[in-house]
Amino acid sequence: MSKTLFEKIWEKHLVKSIPDGPDVIYIDKHFIHEVTSPQAFSGIEKRGQQIFRPLKTVATADHNVPTINQHLPIVEELSRLQVQKLVDNCKKHQIELYGLGHPFQGIVHVIGPELGITQPGMTIVCGDSHTSTHGAFGSIAFGIGTSEVEMVFASQCILQNKPKVMRINVEGELNKGVVSKDIILYIISKISASGATGYFVEYAGSAIRALSMEARMTICNMSIEMGARGGMIAPDETTFEYMKNRLFAPKDDAWDEKLEEWKKLYSDEDAVFDKEITIKAEEIEPMITYGTNPGLGITINANVPTVESIADEGERKNLIKALEYMGLTAGQSLKGMPVQNVFIGSCTNSRIEDLRLVASVIKGRKKNENVNVMIVPGSQQVAAQLSAEGLDVIFTDAGFKIRQAGCSACLGMNEDKVPAGEYCISTSNRNFEGRQGAGSRTLLASPLTAAAAAITGVITDVRELVN
Amino acid sequence: MKPLKNIQSTFIPLTEENIDTDQIIPARFLKSTSREGFGKNLFRDWRYFNNNEAQPKADFILNKPEYKGSILVAGKNFGCGSSREHAAWSLLDYGFNVVVSSFFADIFKNNALNNGVLPVQVSDKFLQKIFALENGSTLSVDLEKQTITIDATGEQEKFDINNYKKTCLLNGYDDIDYLLSIKQDIINFEKTLA
């Protein structure tokens, strides 16, 4: 029988199905971080249990770490204690930790792929909703809660209801100045912040096939922003090329063997999806959000919708509330509007390719004097690559502040925050009220659009700034 | 986990849609390493001006003393966003055992069920009926029968929950108890993967 990629991997990891209940799914790789793991460790200890398969869990510190002076003790007490708790727990339970100061430390969804831990055909979970990122390699990867982290600790398994499967095809060639972040913001603006709830999404089509692994990760990363449990892309030569010679990727004969297995990971030609959508790549332009969920996005040259243009009463109310929070007016244009902050980073857009895009826009230019620009490499390895390529010089010459690896100002948890009432063009994934700090106003966009705003100080169509 | 059977209570209506987990509990309150004490920061930035408990926002419903109850009724797509289980912990710690909405985000729904907070998904029409009720009206949720009833009018809807989860909630079992009970099956399964 024909199967989707999702079904092939799910069935391979199905330990058993509970009648009129969820499936028991075996987990190949479990990532943990300091914020959503401590209660799972204490839970397992309270039950008098050991970690069942400690070698299948990898830890890093990313959410609640400072991005300057990482060699010094963390100033804020609760943060210091939380990060220390991770160190203690990993030591006690013999879990590999790439903590602060380790050359592999970084955002969990950046380090997994770059170290070759993330591999096609795997089941991967982490107590973080952006775990969907790892689906770019053709794996089933999704975010879980702390009780589920404890399940994986206890049994290397998790109870899950099998989701429905949706395929989103993006066909054709992208316009100049349009990158993968624009593709995903466009898709979410079309199907809404809840349009894929209950589904696992497979991205396909010629425009997706043409993307690099970094670009694919950006797309899969934001699957959760339309409610999808995860997103995935069938592995291909681009995937294998990226994987080869990564630190933890299989080597020699084991590589050849795995490669044969990975080449079978695709949706069969006549596989049936519960829902299928096709988008023309040519329709997509640089995107920016104006509201307080990632579905409220427009192309850079469009106007914010008018209240009258929205048919549904609930959505009308949402729009009014969102615009009030954002300090925007219905029907207005965003282009030319001043911004006070630019944040380039997060698990969505902090990989070397993202930073190269930024450099391509700002090279030889200076940032606008009214803008505070933070650029935060996703990992220590990305930071090292940045220096190796000389991009750090381009950034510092432009007046950007280069920070150390971490989630930084994406989530308003660590020291990096956007001041109340100020606007921030951000390459991150969420524009919720207060997401980047209480009262902060986030406009989500691509690294190119963020870089353009850093230079001009206002919301800019990057295609008008560089050729 | 405490067993959950029947709940009859007044409710707190929060008509906003797409209430994300950053609203339920902002990230800066996730620094604790225990499960307790999150209730005081539930909807923190909707409750207070300037993050200051001395400056409550009088028009926010949790700050109106006449609104009480262990059932929260919210607009559609409740709990979207982050996977933080702290959202479920903060609702429970504040005193909510049931959340009613016409649509729930997936991860939140799992997290709620894993902590004995029952997500009750109703039709949009039924949700609007609840929102239209006078303050002080009560709702009855019967988990065994999978029904929610507006007590004043007797109007009722059935809600979905799989039999496994229902048994867990009724008895206070959790998934880890179950997984530990099938450990030998898991060990056998691992051999097939190699």
Report DSSP letters for B133-171, one per residue. SPTT-EEEEETTTTEEEETTT--EEE----HHHHHHHHH
Is residue B194 pLDDT above 90, yes or no?
no
Report chain B residues whose CB lies below 8 A from the CB of A161. 162
Q: CB of B79 within 8 A of CB of B109?
A: yes
Does residue A112 belong to the interface with chain B, where contact is any CB pair within 8 Å? no
Q: CB of B39 within 8 A of CB of B93?
A: yes
B45 and A432 in contact by Cβ < 8 A? no
Q: CB of A273 within 8 A of CB of A4?
A: yes
For B183, the closest of A22, A155, A438 (CB atoms) is: A155
Does residue A73 belong to the interface with chain B, where contact is any CB pair within 8 Å? no
Burial of A327-363, coded b for 16+ CB within 10 Å and e otherwise, reads ebebeeebeebebbbbbbbbbbbbbbbbbbbbbebbe
> Of A39, A402, A312, A452, which is closest to residue B88 (Cα–Cα)?
A39
Does residue A195 belong to the interface with chain B, where contact is any CB pair within 8 Å? no
Which long-range contacts link B38-44 to residues 24+ away (Cβ below 8 Å)? B38/B86, B38/B89, B38/B90, B38/B93, B39/B90, B39/B91, B39/B92, B39/B93, B39/B94, B39/B95, B40/B93, B40/B94, B41/B90, B42/B90, B42/B91, B42/B93, B42/B94
pLDDT tens-digit map of B4-26: 989 999 999 999 999 999 999 99
**Six token digits for residue B73:** 């009724």
Q: Coil, strand or helix: which one is A105?
A: coil
A193 and B185 in contact by Cβ < 8 A? no
Angstrom distance (rounded) from CA B27 to CA B41: 11
CA distance B123 to chain A (A): 15
For A154, the closest of B27, B45, B176 (CB atoms) is: B176
Q: CB of A127 within 8 A of CB of A36?
A: yes
CA distance A155 to chain B (A): 6
Does residue A146 belong to the interface with chain B, where contact is any CB pair within 8 Å? yes
A193 and B26 in contact by Cβ < 8 A? no
**Six token digits for residue A369:** 């004097």
From first to last of its 467 residues, chain A has per-residue pLDDT tens of 899 999 999 999 999 999 999 999 999 999 999 999 999 999 999 999 999 999 999 999 999 999 999 999 999 999 999 999 999 999 999 999 999 999 999 999 999 999 999 999 999 999 999 999 999 999 999 999 999 999 999 999 999 999 999 999 999 999 999 999 999 999 999 999 999 999 999 999 999 999 999 999 999 999 999 999 999 999 999 999 999 999 999 999 999 999 999 999 999 999 999 999 999 999 999 999 999 999 999 999 999 999 999 999 889 999 999 999 999 999 999 999 999 999 999 999 999 999 999 999 999 999 999 999 999 999 999 999 999 999 999 999 999 999 999 999 999 999 999 999 999 999 999 999 999 999 999 999 999 999 999 999 999 999 999 97
B176 and A314 in contact by Cβ < 8 A? no
A433 and B30 in contact by Cβ < 8 A? no
- Would you say the pTM of this structure is higher than 0.90? yes
Amino acid (1-letter code) at residue A222: M
Does residue A84 belong to the interface with chain B, where contact is any CB pair within 8 Å? no
CA distance A411 to chain B (A): 7
β-strands B156-158, B98-101: how paired? unpaired
Burial of B58-85, coded b for 16+ CB within 10 Å and e otherwise, reads eeebbeeeeeebbbbbbbbbbbbbbbbb
For A434, the closest of B22, B163, B175 (CB atoms) is: B22
A38 and B23 in contact by Cβ < 8 A? no
Nearest-Cα residue of chain A relative to residue B108: A145
For A143, the closest of B107, B114, B182 (CB atoms) is: B107
For residue A372, the tally of other CB atoms under 10 A from its CB is 18
Q: CB of A291 within 8 A of CB of A320?
A: no
CA distance B149 to chain A (A): 24
Considering only residues 344 to 383 of chain A, which have any Cβ-Cβ distance to chain B shorter than 8 Å? none
**Six token digits for residue A233:** 């892309």
pLDDT tens-digit map of B127-155: 999 999 999 999 999 999 999 999 999 99
Report chain B residues whose CB lies below 8 A from the CB of A38. 33-34
Report chain A residues whose CB lies below 8 A from the CB of B183. 52, 155
Q: CB of A416 within 8 A of CB of A408?
A: yes
Residue holding tokens 């790789």? A29
For B45, the closest of A79, A194, A434 (CB atoms) is: A434
